[in-house]
Chain A
Amino acid sequence: MSNRWLYVLPLLMLVVMAGFFGYALTQNRNPADIGEPLLGRPAPAIDLAPLQEDGARLTSAEWQGKVTVLNFFASWCAPCLAEHPLFLRLKEQGTRLQGVNYRNKADEAKAWLARLGNPYERIGVDPEGKAGVEFGISGVPETFVIDKTGIVRLHLRRPLTADDVNKTILPLVRELSK
């Protein structure tokens, strides 16, 4: 019977699957840890429409030549609200800060920024979360530091703290800007 192997196929699939499960169980891995796979790799190419009518597009070409801090945020996200003042400080320090407005309604995001102040040099809109997928974020807020050649040097999967800004981001930006 030539199609006999078809009947064996489900069994083979089970063997492969069981192998993976066995691996997963015995390797002591933490499935919640999704790591920072972009570290040391070029930041994904994006080209996002601006949030503000008079703003410029947010494109990955922009990142060549100057260190950029890129922040994914949304007006509906409470931790974003908490970390927002730190970005205003970061802006005062002369750091180039760009934002991706993640899965947010433009009106709400604009009102939010109008109320709190806008620290971002440029803001791209990501209404469907496609840029978020490109950057592998698991939620908002997440923050990246991208160096002069467009390589991701830092990825924080959480809201920033004052310590992050003072002890990590500012020194890193200074170091990379040399």
Chain B
Amino acid sequence: MTPELGHYALILALCVAAAQGSLPLWGARRGDPGLMEVGRSAALAQFVLVGVAFVALVHAYVTSDFSVANVVRNSHTTKPLLYKITGTWGNHEGSMLLWALILSLFGAGVAAFGGNLPATLRARVLGIQGLIGLGFLAFILFTSNPFERLDPAPADGNDLNPLLQDPGLAFHPPLLYLGYVGFSVTFSFAIAALIEGRVDAAWARWVRPWTLASWCFLTLGIALGSWWAYYELGWGGFWFWDPVENASFMPWLLGTALLHSAIVTEKRDALKSWTLLLAVLAFSLSLLGTFLVRSGVLTSVHAFAQDPARGLFILAFLIIVTGGGLTLYAWRAPRLAAGGLFAPVSREGGLVFNNLLLATLTLTVFLGTLYPLALDAVGGGKVSVGPPFYAATFIPLALPLLAAVPIGPFLAWKRGDLPAALKQLRAVGAVAVLAGIITLFIAHRSTVLAACGVAVATWLILGALRELARRIQLFGVPLADSLRRLKGLPRAAIGMTIAHAALGLSVLGITGVSVWQTETIVVMKPGVPVMHAGYEVTLEGTTDVSGPNYVAERGRLVYRRGGDIVTVLEPERRLYKVQRRATTEAAIRTTVLADLYATLGEADGKGGWTVRLYHNPLAPWIWLGAALAALGGVVSLSDRRLRIGAPRRARPTATQPAE
């Protein structure tokens, strides 16, 4: 009964979305307040209905209702409760339902907290959101119904892919979707602005919290995915330029560009049509990511059940949404009033530089991801594009961008003074160069690239702090005064400092792992020590353990240094009984400076075990940096200017993380 209820709620949601996607738009055109108000109630109703459907599916999973085909394919009675719940979105149908839920959540957010928006703008934004929802709900109902029944119901299910039975991956998709789908609001705002033919500072300010929140979620989602790949796949790496990773990275890059260009639109009323274009493209790239993952046109580690019919549907949807948005853009954007003028060397100029490079980086990743497909289509043969391509193209573009980050905030709006800015950063620059040179000489196996990485990271961190110091006149005025100034600083400024410094931390982590990783792959016999990264590692034996739905071999690796035990790592090799699939569970012991990382491979039949040992210097900083960057975003979200003019309770963004 419950699945039917869910199915029914989903069909109702589709009808409501149809109303939400038409009446408010029509009402806004006719200036009919009644019709415009339909948008708000429809958006709230849609959220409730999709919520009911989602809860019904979760219920089917938790109670192991094997009359539902989706549950049979992805669950098993012995699966731990956490993974029964998260298994709801660990498959194509359920994840689309999660997507629709988050979409309706954002729609409801605009409806509930958009009280300060002009009625026509709000009606149009909600109308566009309704149309997007209509597309996704139709997709779910017509091609990917999660509530499909199975008769007769089997006694038990096929279990969830064991790689997904992991806390990291349980929360990776929801965060990623919150980011992807959050850009739909930005998209809707851009389309509404194009329809109205008006973009101004107020518009930019309304959009900012949505963009910022989406960006934070996307940052966390990508970081979580990369962290999961690091400890679960057992390859010792954190980023593989896999098409699906790229698919999430491209909206992030453009979203970052959008965050910056929207500042120019807000403060200086310039770059309007560019900001609109970025808003349209950021969401389009999110859709593109969905298409790439689910259509099977590219190979990837992310294997969803792939079906050409679904691929065609998403492609058609992508063409309608993006094509519609870009057509409107081509038609209306040239008529937007030109904004404020600025000199090339200015805060605006710096942000344009930032945007050009971020857009180019996006294009690079885009080309690398789709080139194999394009070449194949024109009969040019089969190729695969891998890390060498990105090392050759991405890094040279990213370095100047990173180098420019600390300088930007020192430039004044309209007309900046570059020599004066550089003069203030003189000491920071000297320390950064020195750090690079020291790296070159001290660290073993160093390269010029590593030196650049360390120098840039130092430059970013200290540059961000230097800028903060300037704002609060640290050491220029008594400390108490500085602290008072710090308190009075706009939260957005503090958020920026945190995010920029966090970027430096991540760069440092990436440099550390890429350059100084030590890898030892050996066949270890119990009791025979192996030297690895200055540690004496001994396999003291393996034991058989059994989990709820798997059996495992657990190795006990003792790390010694100078005879003293430093740590004990216990990597596992699990065999999931239902799916007959083996997974490696890396054991990681992290210190602030490095990760000790070990995975257990197969036994060689002669008493030895293949063991992979990694020493990953600075690895934790990659994710620490990402988390801090997201925190910077959150701090910036709490900025006063995003709240003023809103009704009393309205903090448009504070409600988004809530489910």
Q: Which residues of A contact B (CB under 8 A)?
A: 1, 4, 7-8, 10-11, 14-15, 17-18, 20-26, 28-29, 31-35, 37, 75-76, 78, 108, 128-130, 133, 136, 138
* Chain A CB within 8 A of B330 CB: yes
Nearest neighbor of B601 in chain A, beta-carbon distance: A78
Q: Which of A25, A37, A78, A138 contacts B311 (CB 8 A)?
A: A25
Chain B contacts for A22, CB-based, 8 A: 315
Chain A contacts for B519, CB-based, 8 A: 76
CA of A138 to CA of B372, assembled, Å: 13
CA of A24 to CA of B314, assembled, Å: 13
Contact B382 A7 (CB under 8 A): no
* Chain A CB within 8 A of B383 CB: yes
Chain A contacts for B216, CB-based, 8 A: none
Minimum distance in angstroms from B388 CB to a CB of chain A: 6
CA of A37 to CA of B376, assembled, Å: 12
Contact A11 B382 (CB under 8 A): no
Contact B299 A10 (CB under 8 A): no
Q: Which of B277, B330, B374 contacts A20 (CB 8 A)?
A: B374
* Chain A CB within 8 A of B515 CB: no
Q: Give the interface centre of A15, A24, A75 by most chain B CB atoms within 10 Å.
A: A24
Chain B contacts for A136, CB-based, 8 A: 383
Q: Tell me the residues in window 364-401 of chain B with beta carbons closer than 8 Å to chain A beta carbons.
A: 370, 372-374, 376-377, 381-384, 386, 388
Contact B384 A20 (CB under 8 A): no
- List, sorted by A's number, 29 A–B pairs whose CB atoms are closer than 8 Å: A7-B330, A7-B333, A10-B329, A10-B330, A11-B323, A11-B327, A14-B326, A17-B370, A18-B318, A18-B319, A20-B377, A21-B318, A21-B373, A25-B295, A25-B308, A25-B312, A26-B308, A26-B312, A31-B299, A31-B372, A31-B373, A32-B299, A34-B383, A35-B381, A37-B381, A76-B521, A129-B388, A133-B388, A138-B384
Nearest neighbor of A4 in chain B, beta-carbon distance: B334
CA of A22 to CA of B334, assembled, Å: 30
Chain A contacts for B299, CB-based, 8 A: 31-32
Contact B291 A11 (CB under 8 A): no
* Chain A CB within 8 A of B537 CB: no
CA of A76 to CA of B308, assembled, Å: 38
Chain B contacts for A21, CB-based, 8 A: 291, 295, 297, 315, 318, 373
Contact A10 B281 (CB under 8 A): yes
Contact B330 A8 (CB under 8 A): yes
CA of A20 to CA of B323, assembled, Å: 15
Q: Other than the known A7-B330, A15-B323, what 9 A-B pairs have Cβ atoms closer than 8 Å?
A: A7-B329, A17-B370, A18-B319, A20-B374, A21-B291, A26-B308, A29-B376, A78-B601, A133-B386
CA of A14 to CA of B383, assembled, Å: 23
- For the residues of A in contact with B, the DSSP-based class is helix
CA of A78 to CA of B277, assembled, Å: 49
Q: Tell me the residues in window 285-309 of chain B with beta carbons closer than 8 Å to chain A beta carbons.
A: 291, 295-299, 308
In the complex with contacts A11-B329, A20-B370, A130-B388, A25-B383 CB distance below 8 A = no
CA of A138 to CA of B318, assembled, Å: 31
CA of A25 to CA of B291, assembled, Å: 11
Q: Which residues of B contact A (CB under 8 A)?
A: 273, 277, 280-281, 284, 291, 295-299, 308, 311-312, 315, 318-319, 322-323, 326-327, 329-330, 333-334, 370, 372-374, 376-377, 381-384, 386, 388, 519, 521, 601-602, 610
Q: Give the interface centre of B277, B297, B298, B312 by most chain A CB atoms within 10 Å.
A: B297
Q: Which of B280, B373, B382, B521 contacts A24 (CB 8 A)?
A: B373
Chain B contacts for A37, CB-based, 8 A: 381-383
Minimum distance in angstroms from B139 CB to a CB of chain A: 15
Chain B contacts for A11, CB-based, 8 A: 323, 326-327, 329-330
Chain A contacts for B298, CB-based, 8 A: 31
Chain B contacts for A78, CB-based, 8 A: 601-602, 610
Contact B315 A18 (CB under 8 A): yes
Nearest neighbor of A15 in chain B, beta-carbon distance: B323
Minimum distance in angstroms from A157 CB to a CB of chain B: 12
CA of A7 to CA of B384, assembled, Å: 32
Nearest neighbor of B331 in chain A, beta-carbon distance: A7
CA of A75 to CA of B273, assembled, Å: 55
Contact B382 A33 (CB under 8 A): yes
Chain B contacts for A34, CB-based, 8 A: 382-384
Chain B contacts for A32, CB-based, 8 A: 299
CA of A11 to CA of B328, assembled, Å: 10
CA of A23 to CA of B376, assembled, Å: 10
Minimum distance in angstroms from A141 CB to a CB of chain B: 15
Nearest neighbor of B332 in chain A, beta-carbon distance: A7
Chain B contacts for A28, CB-based, 8 A: 308
CA of A31 to CA of B280, assembled, Å: 29
Nearest neighbor of A137 in chain B, beta-carbon distance: B384
CA of A7 to CA of B327, assembled, Å: 9
Contact A24 B384 (CB under 8 A): no
Chain A contacts for B311, CB-based, 8 A: 25
CA of A104 to CA of B327, assembled, Å: 51
Contact A10 B334 (CB under 8 A): no
Minimum distance in angstroms from B606 CB to a CB of chain A: 13
Minimum distance in angstroms from A80 CB to a CB of chain B: 12
Minimum distance in angstroms from B46 CB to a CB of chain A: 28
CA of A108 to CA of B613, assembled, Å: 14
Chain A contacts for B308, CB-based, 8 A: 25-26, 28
Minimum distance in angstroms from A36 CB to a CB of chain B: 9
Minimum distance in angstroms from B315 CB to a CB of chain A: 5
Nearest neighbor of A27 in chain B, beta-carbon distance: B377
Minimum distance in angstroms from B237 CB to a CB of chain A: 13
CA of A17 to CA of B366, assembled, Å: 11
Contact A10 B326 (CB under 8 A): yes
CA of A29 to CA of B601, assembled, Å: 34
Nearest neighbor of A38 in chain B, beta-carbon distance: B381
Nearest neighbor of A16 in chain B, beta-carbon distance: B374
Minimum distance in angstroms from A116 CB to a CB of chain B: 12
Chain B contacts for A17, CB-based, 8 A: 370
